[in-house]
Amino acid sequence: MNKIRAKFISIRDLLATAWPIVLITAIGFVVAYQFVQPAPPRHVTITTGGESGAYYAYAKRYAEVLAANGITLEIKTSSGSQQNLDRLKSGEVDIAFVQGGVLDNPGDEENVADGDLRSLGSVAYEPVWIFYRSDTRIDRLSRLDGKRIAVGEEGSGIRGLALRLLDANEISSTSKDLVPIDGLNAAEELQLERIDAAFIVAAPESSVVQVLLRSPGVRVMSFGQADAYLRRFPYLSKVMLPRGMVDLVRDTPPRDTVLLATTANIVVRKNLHPALANILLQAMSEVNGKNGFFQNTGEFPSYKDRSFLLSEEANHYFKSGPPFLQRYLPFWIAVLVDRLFVLFLPIIILLLPLLRLAPTIYTWRVRSKIFRCYGDLKFMENELRQGYDPARHAEYLSRLDRIEEDAYTRNIPLAFTDLLYTLREHINLVRKKLHHLETTTGPTTATGNKT
């Protein structure tokens, strides 16, 4: 029974010491939990363009990469970049392809940049092809004034860009000569000579570009003032289509052709889960990071169109690559470890010093029970030293007995019983001193006289 009682006492003292540590750790856990990101969703939505366009093709390949990591990417087609932006702003989709230069004016650009949208970077050049019919070469847009020009459908990214370029050349956007068609429809109208020129924004591999490059009587304009356009429209780049690049045998094009190019950009909502942003950036690198007509290996993804603020995840990715854990662990395991790390790191930082202090606190709690008895004993010893009263001898003895009894009744773990025996020795020392004072002073009568 004594062993059980002693063990119970030890456990009780340990619990009494541990509860402040548990309380502080629990508070740290609650605070840390506020900074833990929820698990990323397994379903996200992207809006592209038409099913025949490059955006849709890119999205299909992104979907394959994300599916391999347990994430479903739903693809929604659209009429163009403007509709994509509208869907993104309304929260209908999480991710959108947006053509560079699609914003209507600087005011709108500022509003978007300061709002809820962020860029994950550009993924490809989108050359601005201007195909035309003419007996003479044209290298300036101003020479298209008065001609019927296909500038793209309402809501398409190509239309906004075409109108801005024409406006810079004093060709009014309200002109009746501007025809709202694009793509293969514009190619057909140009081949049938119903229009004189067409703006096409598409990859060189696209069917509409390939058709027009091989159409008799149709030429592609080489921008003679390309550098001036770059200064006025920072989201544009200058690219070169080398002679014979399309067809070496037929020497198509017949000379080096300077083109302006906008970029295809991935824009997301600001609150897109960081883990999703990182896995999407990896998909962009896998799909768009290879060599192409106008790009070098590793050139994309990159931050070329600055109409939108770059997301923090993309900024870190461009500087350092994928997050450390995602380089070596499967996606969902990396996400779990990252969340647990954020949760438990503050707790570990709290626990280490607390656990180091715990033995000291426990020892102090046990010793304090004995020290209280020492306090009473020291007080009595000082009282005897300052003035022993023989008439109170019995009271002194009774007080010593109470101190000793108090020490016996205190719950002291077995590991600290040496303190109890040391206390008893010191009580006996005071008792001996009291006996010595009695013998040297002698017994007293009720009146205090020696007998």
Contact 434, 396 (CB under 8 A): yes
Q: 276, 294, 322: which is the final residue of a domain?
A: 322
How much is the average pLDDT of 191-214? 90
Question: What is residue 49's predicted lDDT score, i.e. its pLDDT?
Answer: 85
Contact 156, 81 (CB under 8 A): yes
* Residue position matching structure tokens 């599916």: 67
**Does residue 32 lie in a domain region?**
no
pLDDT in tens, 15-72: 555 666 666 666 766 665 555 567 789 999 999 988 878 899 999 999 999 999 999 9
**Does residue 328 lie in a domain region?**
no
Question: What is residue 345's predicted lDDT score, i.e. its pLDDT?
Answer: 66
**Does residue 200 lie in a domain region?**
yes
Q: Are strands 95-99 and 149-150 parallel, antiparallel or unpaired?
A: unpaired
How much is the average pLDDT of 250-278? 91
The tokens for 263 are 């970029």
Domain that holds residue 367: 2-25+342-441
Question: What is residue 160's predicted lDDT score, i.e. its pLDDT?
Answer: 86
The tokens for 136 are 């003479």
Q: 259, 288, 322: which is the final residue of a domain?
A: 322
How much is the average pLDDT of 237-241? 92
Question: What is residue 218's predicted lDDT score, i.e. its pLDDT?
Answer: 93
Which of the two residues, 414 and 64, has the higher pLDDT score?
64
Nearest Cα residue to 304 out of 233, 223, 229: 233
Within this chain, do residues 106 and 207 fall inside the same structural domain, yes or no?
Answer: yes
Using the predicted structure, report yes or no on whether residue 444 has a pLDDT greater than 50. Answer: no
- The set of long-range contacts for 435-443, using a CB threshold of 8 Å and a minimum separation of 24, is 437/384, 437/388, 437/390, 438/390, 438/393, 441/388, 441/390, 442/390, 443/390
Contact 45, 74 (CB under 8 A): yes
Within this chain, do residues 272 and 363 fall inside the same structural domain, yes or no?
Answer: no
Using the predicted structure, report yes or no on whether residue 451 has a pLDDT greater than 60. Answer: no
Using the predicted structure, report yes or no on whether residue 351 has a pLDDT greater than 60. Answer: yes
Within this chain, do residues 236 and 285 fall inside the same structural domain, yes or no?
Answer: yes
CA 301, CA 10: separation in Å to the nearest integer?
Answer: 63
Using the predicted structure, report yes or no on whether residue 110 has a pLDDT greater than 60. Answer: no
pLDDT in tens, 282-305: 999 999 999 887 888 999 999 998
pLDDT in tens, 61-104: 999 999 999 999 999 999 888 889 999 999 999 999 998 877 75
Within this chain, do residues 401 and 252 fall inside the same structural domain, yes or no?
Answer: no
Question: What is residue 399's predicted lDDT score, i.e. its pLDDT?
Answer: 87
Nearest Cα residue to 412 out of 3, 42, 13: 13
Within this chain, do residues 353 and 296 fall inside the same structural domain, yes or no?
Answer: no
pLDDT in tens, 381-413: 888 888 888 888 888 888 888 888 887 777 777
Question: What is residue 337's predicted lDDT score, i.e. its pLDDT?
Answer: 76
Within this chain, do residues 108 and 179 fall inside the same structural domain, yes or no?
Answer: yes
Within this chain, do residues 250 and 391 fall inside the same structural domain, yes or no?
Answer: no
Using the predicted structure, report yes or no on whether residue 139 has a pLDDT greater than 90. Answer: yes
Using the predicted structure, report yes or no on whether residue 152 has a pLDDT greater than 80. Answer: yes
Using the predicted structure, report yes or no on whether residue 132 has a pLDDT greater than 60. Answer: yes
For residue 240, what is the domain's CATH number? 3.40.190.10
Within this chain, do residues 282 and 225 fall inside the same structural domain, yes or no?
Answer: yes
Lowest mean pLDDT segment, chosen from 192-196, 199-203, 371-375: 371-375
CA 394, CA 411: separation in Å to the nearest integer?
Answer: 28
**Does residue 33 lie in a domain region?**
no
* Residue position matching structure tokens 């709108």: 108
Within this chain, do residues 196 and 309 fall inside the same structural domain, yes or no?
Answer: yes
**Does residue 196 lie in a domain region?**
yes
Within this chain, do residues 390 and 280 fall inside the same structural domain, yes or no?
Answer: no
How much is the average pLDDT of 268-293? 92
The tokens for 210 are 């390939």
Within this chain, do residues 251 and 201 fall inside the same structural domain, yes or no?
Answer: yes
Which of the two residues, 230 and 380, has the higher pLDDT score?
230
**Does residue 90 lie in a domain region?**
yes
Which of the two residues, 35 and 365, has the higher pLDDT score?
365
Within this chain, do residues 87 and 118 fall inside the same structural domain, yes or no?
Answer: yes
The tokens for 236 are 């544009």
Question: What is residue 238's predicted lDDT score, i.e. its pLDDT?
Answer: 93
Contact 310, 119 (CB under 8 A): yes
Q: What is the mean pLDDT of the chain?
A: 83
Q: Each residue of 29-42: b (16+ CB within 10 Å) or e?
A: eeebeeeeeeebee
**For helices 157-168 and 81-90, what crossing angle results, to 10°?**
120
Question: What is residue 347's predicted lDDT score, i.e. its pLDDT?
Answer: 66
**Does residue 449 lie in a domain region?**
no
Q: What is the pTM of this model?
A: 0.67
Question: What is residue 26's predicted lDDT score, i.e. its pLDDT?
Answer: 67
Number of domains in the chain: 2
pLDDT in tens, 313-339: 999 999 998 888 788 888 878 776 776
Q: Are strands 149-150 and 178-179 parallel, antiparallel or unpaired?
A: parallel
Q: 291, 322, 353: which is the final residue of a domain?
A: 322
Where residue 433 falls among pLDDT bands split at 50, 70, 90? Answer: confident
**Does residue 235 lie in a domain region?**
yes
The tokens for 326 are 């995602």
The tokens for 269 are 């909502």
